[in-house]
Amino acid sequence: MTTLITGGAGYIGSITARAIRASGRAVVVLDTLENGHRKAVGDAPFVQADVADADAVRRTVEEHGVDEVVHFAAYKAVGESMENPGKYFANNVTGSQKLFEVLHTCGVERVVFSSTAAVYGTPSRVPVRETDAANCESVYAETKLMIEKTLGWYSRTTGMRSVCLRYFNAAGASDDATLGEDWRFSQNLVPHVMKAVLGRSPALKVFGNDWPTPDGTGVRDYIHVEDLATAHVAALDHLSSGGASVTCNVGTGQGTSVLEVIAATERIAGRKVPHEIVGRRAGDVSEVFADASLIRGLFGWEPRRHLDDIISSAYAWHSANPDGHPS
Ligand code: WQD
């Protein structure tokens, strides 16, 4: 079995590619390297191309005997998407639609898609369920929902089947700390905490401690990137054993606050995280965490790692890779 991994030179894509290979599958990575890193691909077969390049995708499918696809390739900066919507609709939506049409014409009928809990926007309730209304509050989130809907129509009108995985907050690094997030571009909490504790940035800004949460700081569902990776393998197994198309939350079901992330980091690093409480960040919500019972029940998948594993792997990765990418 050969799995095509688009965006497999990125943070989640590269760690998932390892898990897919560990499941006994062959892989081929297709990535523009615009945001990813060639070293993160390791010794896996690699094609430098854009998913919108139909000829390159077709050649890759034919030359590698691709049976299934995990589609990560996308831009994912929420703020940038609101400043440059055209860039996000063209790359994420049009690029994905071109990819799916080539896959369909080549007879590749199994797709696992990297979606996001951001499609829920400000959740109407927590824990968030897949049946809760999608209420996108950013262009980025809207592009992910549009791609989910495109896959839904391919599923209804062709033989293509898909699993859309709505990630909650992916965090941490590979268990061996050789792959991780590039903190140069990330606006996410854990890379920012790591920069502050390692003295690579001024004090961490905590965006508000007046939220209606137990300690007043924002609560999120942080899922270890290695557990996220095994969720993709479970989704591929579901499809290759004939499973129907489905959309699943991928989270732990557990909420964790900003101050709890800081406390875990101080405990593991053995030093203080310089931080200051500032005003709320525009667009933030107080509390988001998953109801992950669907993926647990359907795939038998379980997250095995906890907050300390996220923090210790991120700390090891960022300590060894201050340039933000595998050296
Ligand atoms: C987490 C918490 C912040 C940074 C985003 C995207 C979403 C998804 C995951 C792709 C919040 C607080 C953060 C900082 C802070 N990405 N925080 N200081 O906003 O939940 O979701 O990443 O799919 O699309 O929107 O993640 O890590 O930015 O914030 O206090 O320097 O940490 O207020 O409570 P978020 P985040």
Ligand 1 pocket check for 118: Cβ under 6 Å: yes
User: What is the pLDDT at residue 52?
Assistant: 98
Question: How far, in Å, from the CA of 230 to the mean position of ligand 1?
Answer: 23
Regions of the chain short of the pLDDT cut 50: none
What is the DSSP code string of 110-143? EEEEEEEGGGG-S-SSSSB-TTSPP---SHHHHH
Active site residues: 140
Q: Helix (H, G, I), strand (E, B), or coil: what is residue 230? A: helix
Q: Whose CA is nearest to atom 36 of ligand 1?
A: 188
User: What is the pLDDT at residue 323?
Assistant: 86
Sheet (strand 161-167) strand order: 46-48, 26-31, 2-6, 68-71, 110-116, 161-167, 246-250
User: What is the pLDDT at residue 325?
Assistant: 84
User: What is the pLDDT at residue 184?
Assistant: 92
Residue in 110, 112, 73 with CA at minimum distance from that of residue 95? 73
Question: How far, in Å, from the CA of 187 to the mean position of ligand 1?
Answer: 7
Question: How far, in Å, from the CA of 255 to the mean position of ligand 1?
Answer: 13
Alpha helices, DSSP H, located in 181-290: 189-197, 225-240, 258-269
Q: Tokens representing 129?
A: 């369920």
Residues 301, 230: Cα–Cα separation, whole Å: 8
Q: Same CATH fold, 189-221+253-291+304-320 and 2-171+222-250? A: no
Q: State residue 291 phi and psi, 5-degree precision.
A: -95, 110
Question: How far, in Å, from the CA of 78 to the mean position of ligand 1?
Answer: 10
Which of 169, 190, 193 best tests ligand 1's pocket when mutated (most atoms within 8 Å of CB)? 169
Ligand 1 pocket check for 122: Cβ under 6 Å: no
Ligand 1 pocket check for 78: Cβ under 6 Å: yes
Express each pLDDT in 130-184 by its tens digit: 999 999 999 999 999 999 999 999 999 999 999 999 999 999 999 999 999 999 9
Q: Which atom of ligand 1 is nearest to the CA of 281?
A: 33
Q: Whose CA is nearest to atom 9 of ligand 1?
A: 169
Domain 189-221+253-291+304-320 falls in which CATH fold?
Answer: UDP-galactose 4-epimerase; domain 1 (3.90.25)
Q: Which atom of ligand 1 is nearest to the CA of 188?
A: 27
Q: Which atom of ligand 1 is nearest to the CA of 217?
A: 34
Ligand 1 pocket check for 206: Cβ under 6 Å: yes
Q: Can you give the residue ranges of every domain in the chain? A: 2-171+222-250, 189-221+253-291+304-320
Which of 221, 281, 287 best tests ligand 1's pocket when mutated (most atoms within 8 Å of CB)? 281
- Say which CATH architecture domain 2-171+222-250 belongs to: 3-Layer(aba) Sandwich (3.40)
User: What is the pLDDT at residue 327?
Assistant: 77
User: What is the pLDDT at residue 326?
Assistant: 84
Tell me the Ramachandran region of residue 221: left when phi exceeds 0, alpha when psi lies from -120 to 50, beta otherwise: beta
Ligand 1 pocket check for 193: Cβ under 6 Å: no
Residue in 303, 307, 28 with CA at minimum distance from that of residue 167? 303
Sequence-ordered list of residues with C-beta below 8 angstroms from that of 318, at least 6 positions apart, any chain: 173, 180, 183, 191, 194, 195, 198
Q: Which atom of ligand 1 is nearest to the CA of 187?
A: 28
Ligand 1 pocket check for 192: Cβ under 6 Å: yes
Residues 327, 320: Cα–Cα separation, whole Å: 9
Sequence-ordered list of residues with C-beta below 8 angstroms from that of 199, at least 6 positions apart, any chain: none
Q: Name residue, tokens 């379980």.
A: 302
As a whole number, the mean pLDDT across the chain is: 97
Question: How far, in Å, from the CA of 145 to the mean position of ligand 1?
Answer: 19
Number of CB atoms found within 10 A of residue 282's CB = 8
